[in-house]
């Protein structure tokens, strides 16, 4: 297990690459979905008198 985590001595480069990728993609999903939900809510509030 620890051998796999060590990435053959390159853990300091490989894991940050995976971490930053996960962070960016997750943030893109969350921000995109939040903006969509907000737009839907605003439109729904305007369309129901």
Q: Which residues bind another protein (CB under 8 A)?
A: 7-10, 13-14, 16-18, 20-21, 24-25, 28-29, 32-33, 35-36, 39-40, 42-43, 46-47
Minimum distance from residue 7 beta carbon to another protein (Å): 4
CA–CA gap between residue 22 and residue 17 (Å, rounded) = 9
**Length of the chain in terms of residues written:** 49
d(CA 47, CA 49) in angstroms, rounded, equals 6
Task: Tell me the closest approach of the beta carbon of residue 6 to another protein, in angstroms.
Answer: 8
- Minimum CB–partner distance for residue 41 and another protein (Å): 10
What letter would DSSP give residue 7? G
């Amino acid at each position: 297990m620890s051998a796999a985590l060590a990435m053959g001595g390159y853990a300091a480069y490989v894991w940050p690459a995976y971490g930053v990728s996960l962070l960016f993609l997750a943030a893109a999903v969350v921000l995109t979905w939040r903006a969509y939900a907000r737009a839907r809510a605003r439109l729904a509030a305007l369309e129901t008198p």
